[in-house]
Amino acid sequence: MQILEDRYGRLHDYLRISVTDRCNLRCLYCMPEEGVQFAASETLLSYDDIVEIVKVGASLGIKKLRITGGEPLIRPNLHELIGQLSAIPQIEDIALTTNGIYLESQAEKLRKAGLNRVNISLDTLDPTRFKFIARNGDLKKVLAGIEAAAKVGFSPIKLNCVLLKGINEDEIAQFLRLAYEQPLHVRFIEYMPIGHADEGWKQHYLPLSTVLDIAQKEGYNISEKNEIQGNGPSENWEFSGGVGSFGLIHPISDHFCKNCNRLRLTSDGLIKPCLYWMDELDMKSAIGNSDELRNVYYKAMQIKPQNHEMAEKLLDIAQTHVPTERRMSQIGG
């Protein structure tokens, strides 16, 4: 059976699955504070739908999954979906991206169901600033979620920190210290213009070269780190004498498209070949027909662009495709 290879020779073995577009937070870079139109619950893929889509993808070479949202842990009984997905023979790794608010109460059953790893969004270590960036929630609950994830054996535990110029770049040194002292992998992520490529995005965009500059100023002896499980596009670094590590995900200043191996399944049943562009394919209407589901996967390979051109947007250079109007929360990141 034909594997999932696009026009540029990139093999795809990774599917990101959004289970909801809803979230209990309203992070500045992800969604507006109000006025968001959420998908009606009846339009969302059921767990059985998702499993069927994944089984077909697994027959074509998909072996890594990431469950996303919105906030995936607000979807009831998510561990049941994890259990069904982990039972698919070809699936080797299942990860979850969460804001961590509900992780403490769910970590153990997610782990027992077959979840391998967690990424936890954490953009600040200051409780007051957390309220500003997330517009809701409690930093203490996120920290408790991180502790619970470690207790039940998730490894590596990754913390995703979106850097926002003028908002949280003064905490880079604190996050580096956290990664030095604790067995965590802190990933600094450039702010992406997903669904809102406006002047506000440009104002808060910060290139990740800043992180390496600060690491040097703080006196760390760092070196590039070999493969970290599930590292994807991250450029990884380790500390001499440190316990943890850190990574840089810089889609703008040094985009990673040449190694892209992923597709995205939205909560309402659309396949996105690229995070940034508008192109989407209807997977939901093919459910119940394995041949049609395979055809949608193949078509995604045929239309996947070579790169996302986010850097061109920063420089106001004309782009070759139409950017998505969906916000990050509606896509799943």
220 in any annotated domain: yes
Average pLDDT over residues 14-35: 87
74 in any annotated domain: yes
> Is residue 15 classed as helix, strand or coil in its secondary structure?
strand
Tens of pLDDT, residue by residue over 281-309, are 999 999 999 999 999 999 999 998 876 55
Is-contact 310 191, C-beta < 8 A? no
The dihedral formed by the CA atoms of 208, 214, 219 and 224, expressed in degrees to the nearest 10: 0
Given a cut of 60, whether residue 177 has pLDDT beyond it is yes
Residue span of the structural domain in which 107 resides: 14-331
The dihedral formed by the CA atoms of 321, 38, 64 and 193, expressed in degrees to the nearest 10: 40
Concatenated DSSP letters for 23-73? -S---TTTS-SS---PPPGGGSPPHHHHHHHHHHHHHTT--EEEEESS-GG
CB atoms inside a 10 Å sphere around CB 136:
14
Q: How far apart are CA 200 and CA 269, in angstroms?
A: 30
Q: What is the predicted pLDDT for the residue at 83?
A: 98
Structure confidence at residue 90 as a pLDDT band (50, 70, 90): very high
6 in any annotated domain: no
Both tokens of residue 325?
């109007």
pLDDT: is 310 or 212 the higher one?
Answer: 212
36 in any annotated domain: yes
Strands 235-239 and 222-224: antiparallel
> What angle (nearest 5°) sits at the alpha carbon of residue 152, between those of residues 151 and 156?
85
Q: What is the predicted pLDDT for the residue at 289?
A: 98
7 in any annotated domain: no
CA separation (Å) from 199 to 161, 167, 203, 295, 315? 21, 16, 6, 39, 11
Given a cut of 60, whether residue 316 has pLDDT beyond it is no
Structure confidence at residue 32 as a pLDDT band (50, 70, 90): confident
Average pLDDT over residues 142-149: 98
Q: What is the predicted pLDDT for the residue at 321?
A: 63
Structure confidence at residue 259 as a pLDDT band (50, 70, 90): confident
3 in any annotated domain: no
Q: What is the predicted pLDDT for the residue at 29?
A: 81
User: Hey, which residues does 58 pair with through a beta bridge?
Assistant: none
Per-residue b/e over 155-180, b at no fewer than 16 CB within 10 Å? ebbbbbbbbbeebbbebbeebbbbbb
Q: What is the predicted pLDDT for the residue at 41?
A: 86
4 in any annotated domain: no
Average pLDDT over residues 12-36: 87
Average pLDDT over residues 236-252: 89
* Amino acid of residue 66: R
Given a cut of 90, whether residue 31 has pLDDT beyond it is no
pTM of the predicted model over 0.95: no
Tens of pLDDT, residue by residue over 40-86, are 888 999 999 999 999 999 999 999 999 999 999 999 999 999 999 99
Is-contact 216 279, C-beta < 8 A? no
Residue showing tokens 């995604």 = 300
Tens of pLDDT, residue by residue over 191-234, are 876 655 555 667 788 888 899 999 999 999 999 987 666 556 78
Per-residue b/e over 60-91, b at no fewer than 16 CB within 10 Å? bbbebbbbbbbbbbbbeebbebbbbbbebeeb
Is the preceding omega at residue 70 within 30 degrees of 0, hence cis? yes
pLDDT: is 115 or 207 the higher one?
Answer: 115
8 in any annotated domain: no
CA separation (Å) from 127 to 122, 132, 169? 11, 9, 16
Mean pLDDT of the chain: 88
Domains of the chain: total: 1
Structure confidence at residue 254 as a pLDDT band (50, 70, 90): low
Indicate which CATH number applies to the domain containing 21. Answer: 3.20.20.70
Given a cut of 60, whether residue 310 has pLDDT beyond it is no
